[in-house]
Structures are given as structure tokens and as C-alpha cells.
Amino acid sequence: MCAQPSLTGGERGRTGVPEIADWYMERKINAGDLITQVVPLEKN
């Protein structure tokens, strides 16, 4: 059994992520509903 990558939920990065981005741009999915945590890039 192979472990699936968790960063993209097991999606194929090269082909799956651009497809998901297209769905977002076409308003087929709402990315806001998928966000579970926000991590700032900088901490003061």
C-alpha cells in the first residue's frame, strides 16, 4: 500500500491541481469552504 500525499489530498499535482484551479476560476467550487486554517507568512 502506498501513502497518499496529504498536501493536495492525494490529487495528482501536475494534472489535478491546475484542474482544481480551473474549477475555482469557473466558480464550480468555493475555495473558502475548503479552508480550515490560515497560517500567516510572517510573525511579528
Instruction: Note the pTM of the prediction, 2 decimals.
Output: 0.45
Cβ–Cβ under 8 Å, residues 11 and 20: yes
Q: How many domains does the chain have?
A: 1
Residue 41 lies in a domain: no
Would you state the pLDDT for residue 1?
46
Would you state the pLDDT for residue 36?
85
Would you state the pLDDT for residue 28?
92
Residue 20 lies in a domain: yes
Would you state the pLDDT for residue 26?
95
Residue 22 lies in a domain: yes
The pLDDT tens digits for 1-44 are 455 455 555 556 566 778 888 988 999 988 888 788 888 888 66
- CA dist., res. 41 & res. 27, Å (int): 27
